[in-house]
Amino acid sequence: MEIKPTAETLELIARQAVEGFIIGLHKSPFHGFSVEFAEHRQYNPGDDLRHIDWRVYGRSERFFIKKHEEETNLRCCILLDTSSSMQFPDGGRWNKLQYGCLVAASLLQLLKRQLDATSLALFDESVYFTTECRSAGTHYRRLQQELARVFALEEKMRPSNIAQAIHQIADQVHRRSLVVVISDMVETQEELNDLFDALQHLRYNKHEVILVQVLSRKEEIEFAFENRPYEFVDLETGLHTRLQAGDLKDQYRRAMNEFRVAIENQCYKYNISRVEVDLEAPVDEVLHAFLLKRNKMQ
């Protein structure tokens, strides 16, 4: 039975999403990812045989070495956009902010399994909430509680400045980390240039970056509105505009496609992983991108 998404059920839904992902992962060509055995690493010739976990060998017929706590040293900062544009659409199963909370909560589940340390940062015009990077169980519970609070957020007229937020995190995070930025990234061309300047700041500081762009494919990419007048509202400024949807459709689609291609090209240029996710899709693609980056940093 499907669980209704609410602030109270967010952690449970995220846990189910991660468990389903891991089951699928072990049935796929990506079975080599170290997910099930968070406290282990694969055996390498020359390793002390006393450290082999024979119970794991009995289940998997593969040799794994028990890892000491200091070996599980990934540090991850999750940066979540909570501006008003993320509250679109209204009335669906998820809005973009709620789906972003699901992505963040699912990543927390994986990080917890891997014994990795994480921090959470929330921003609109600037970063207004941030935590230290820790791996304790109490720390993860605190972050899940904060995501549950954000999940229920309905405050309007909250503009965003993603570039400024990323610069703040780049200045605050001093040790090499994996930074996951979750946002719709609906920006003007000038703002987009500022965004990539900020992402270069992170890469210059030797951080790995995953850009998770959350969009509603039906409305924001396909522009699947009936050919009739609509009143469109800018959720960050409150500006109202009446338009005939059919007159705008082709022009909008071209502009949105150019915008998405520009982001993809810049991400490729600066070696940034970009994952575009639809509100109706599972979070598996984000979790795959996370594991690829995590393995790279080990």
- pLDDT tens-digit profile, the chain (298 residues): 678 899 999 999 999 999 998 887 765 544 444 444 445 667 677 676 666 777 777 777 777 776 544 445 689 999 999 999 999 998 888 999 999 999 999 999 999 988 899 999 999 999 999 999 998 899 999 999 999 999 999 888 889 999 999 999 999 998 999 999 999 998 877 888 999 999 999 999 999 999 999 999 999 999 999 999 999 888 888 899 999 999 999 999 999 999 999 999 999 999 999 999 999 999 999 999 998 888 777 6
Instruction: Give the contacts of 283 (CB within 8 A, at least 6 positions apart).
Output: 17, 21, 102, 103, 106, 277
Q: How far apart are CA 214 and CA 86, in angstroms?
A: 9
Domains and CATH numbers, the chain: 37-69 (no CATH), 72-297 (3.40.50.410)
Cis before 5 (ω within 30):
no
Q: Which of 124, 118, 162 is nearest to 143 (CA)?
A: 118
Q: Which of 90, 82, 112 is nearest to 184 (CA)?
A: 82
Long-range contacts of 132-138 (CB under 8 A, 24+ apart): 133/75, 133/76, 133/77, 133/173, 133/175, 133/177, 135/72, 135/111, 137/112
CB 203 within 8 A of CB 270: yes
